[in-house]
């Protein structure tokens, strides 16, 4: 097994706790589902948000998922680059896997699809 990073991002419409938590869980579930990952294989999850989101810590949502209580999580603020996508939550999931880089499915939801249109095609 090797350690691989799985990227993902999503956006919210409002700086509201329930929306931030909901979209964080939806993004994580998509990453896990499309990459056949279980919590035990996760090394850590790095979570960032743009500076316009401060209603809650998105890690709270992940800690409430059964089986994810012991996964190391870290929240941070994105670099506030002028003109960057607002109201954005990003995840970097580090996972132990036998998959190659090309087999990893990165997930971009909502307006975050604009960040990496080349990677926004989820396997269906």
Q: Which pLDDT does position 124 carry in this prediction?
A: 39
Is 108 annotated as catalytic?
Answer: yes
Question: Residues 4, 23, 30, 108: which is the catalytic one?
Answer: 108
Sign of CA dihedral 72, 59, 50, 12: positive
- Is residue 73, in this structure, part of any structural domain at all? yes
**Which of 84, 83, 87, 71 is closest to 31 using CA atoms?**
71
Domain range enclosing 105: 2-114
The reply to whether 56 falls in a domain is yes
- Asked if residue 122 is part of any domain, the answer here is no
What is the value of pTM for the model shown?
0.92
Encode pLDDT of 70-107 as tens digits. 999 999 999 999 999 999 999 999 999 999 999 999 99
List Cα–Cα distances, 72 to 45, 78, 79, 88, 123, in angstroms.
Answer: 6, 19, 22, 21, 27
Does a structural domain hold residue 54? yes
CA angle 98-99-103, nearest 5°? 175
User: What band does 117 get if pLDDT is binned at 50, 70 and 90?
Assistant: confident
CB burial of residue 107 (10 Å; 0-12, 13-18, 19+): buried
Q: What tokens appear for 93 in the block? A: 């999931």
Mean pLDDT for the stretch of residues 100-116: 94
Q: Is 105 annotated as a binding residue?
A: no
pLDDT tens for each residue of 24-78: 999 999 999 999 999 999 999 999 999 999 999 999 999 999 999 999 999 999 9
109 contacts: CB under 8 Å, gap ≥ 6? 8, 9, 10, 11, 23, 26, 27, 30
Active site residue 64: no
Instruction: Name the catalytic one among 16, 63, 64, 103.
Output: 63
The verdict on residue 124 lying in a domain is no
Q: Is 60 annotated as a binding residue?
A: no
Residue 64 lies in a domain: yes
**Residue among 7, 19, 64, 103 flagged as catalytic:** 7
CATH number at residue 43: 3.30.1330.40
Q: Is 63 a catalytic residue?
A: yes
90 among annotated binding-site residues: yes
What is the pLDDT at residue 122?
A: 46
In residues, how long is the chain?
Answer: 124
Give catalytic status of residue 105 as yes or no: no
- Chain-centroid distance, C-alpha 53: 15
Confirm whether 22 is a catalytic residue. no
Number of domains forming the structure of the chain: 1
Report yes or no on 120 lying in a domain: no
For residue 1, pLDDT beyond 70: yes
Residue 86 forms part of a structural domain: yes
């Amino acid at each position: 097994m090797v350690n691989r990073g799985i990227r993902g991002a999503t956006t919210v419409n409002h700086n509201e706790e329930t929306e931030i938590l909901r979209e964080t869980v939806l993004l994580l579930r998509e990453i896990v589902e499309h990459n056949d990952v279980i919590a035990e294989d996760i090394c850590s999850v790095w979570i960032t948000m743009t500076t316009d989101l401060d209603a809650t810590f998105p890690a709270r949502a992940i800690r409430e998922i059964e089986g994810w209580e012991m996964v190391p999580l870290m929240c941070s603020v994105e670099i506030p680059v002028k003109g960057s996508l607002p109201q954005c939550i990003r995840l970097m999931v580090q996972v132990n896997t036998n998959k190659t880089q090309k087999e990893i499915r990165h997930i971009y939801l909502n307006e975050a699809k604009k960040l990496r249109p080349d990677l926004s095609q989820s396997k269906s």
